[in-house]
Amino acid sequence: MHRTIFDTPGVNSAFRALSATVLRLSGWTVEGTLPPEATKCVIIAAPHTSNWDLPYTLMVAFVLNLHIYWMGKWQIFRAPFGGLMHWLGGIAVRRETSNNLVAASAQALADAEGPVQLIVPPEGTRSKVRYWKTGFYYIALQARVPIVLAYLDYHRKVGGLGPVFHPTGDIERDMVTIKQFYAGIRGRNAEQFDAQL
């Protein structure tokens, strides 16, 4: 895993303080903590309905003192912002090409030294989708790490970490449990989020 702003001494502390201030002044609160058994995990980022999700996610991550990496479409990593996006924890993903992203991500998580949290949006896009992508689930399963249910609820202006979920291997049953948690959470563009079973 490459070096990011989250493990850059000094800068990390400054952005944590700035993030807490910005969130407080804009009326947002942050909930939850990362339990010790989940310092290495996959984090679901849902709902994902707006470009604003990234800055809010980064600010919440700073406040919670997380060490995150996040997956984003490769286009946002083009010059001149590619270096910045990588430093912010970004990992470029080309969905149109076939690659072994799940296995590579799982191996990177397993091999990482120290705390690391990989954020994956299950919808895979800001547009409304009926079925969630399951990559996040199989990354966690293969890396033998838990899944943390994180959220940005724009209706209540609350972001944070929810329950820790341990995948059983029965994806159909597990997805029912996971989606039940997100059923009442509203994204910035609420009509684009579907957590129906």
Express each pLDDT in 71-98 by its tens digit: 877 888 888 888 998 898 888 877 665 4
pLDDT of residue 114: 87
First CA to last CA across the chain, in angstroms? 34
CB atoms < 10 A from the CB of 8, how many? 13
Which of 44, 50, 54, 28 shows the shortest CA–CA distance to 191?
50
Report percent pLDDT > 70 for the chain.
89
Omega within 30 of 0 (cis) for the link into 167: no
* Predicted pLDDT at 126: 44
Question: What's the pLDDT at 191?
Answer: 62
Q: What does the alpha-carbon distance between residue 57 and residue 191 come to, in Å, rounded to a whole number? A: 20
pTM: 0.86
Amino acid 160: pLDDT: 97
At residue 197, does pLDDT exceed 50? Answer: no
Average pLDDT value over all residues in the chain: 87
Q: Where residue 101 falls among pLDDT bands split at 50, 70, 90? A: confident
Which segments of 89-170 does DSSP mark as H helices, in order? Answer: 101-111, 135-143
Alpha carbons 3 and 57: distance in angstroms, whole number? 18
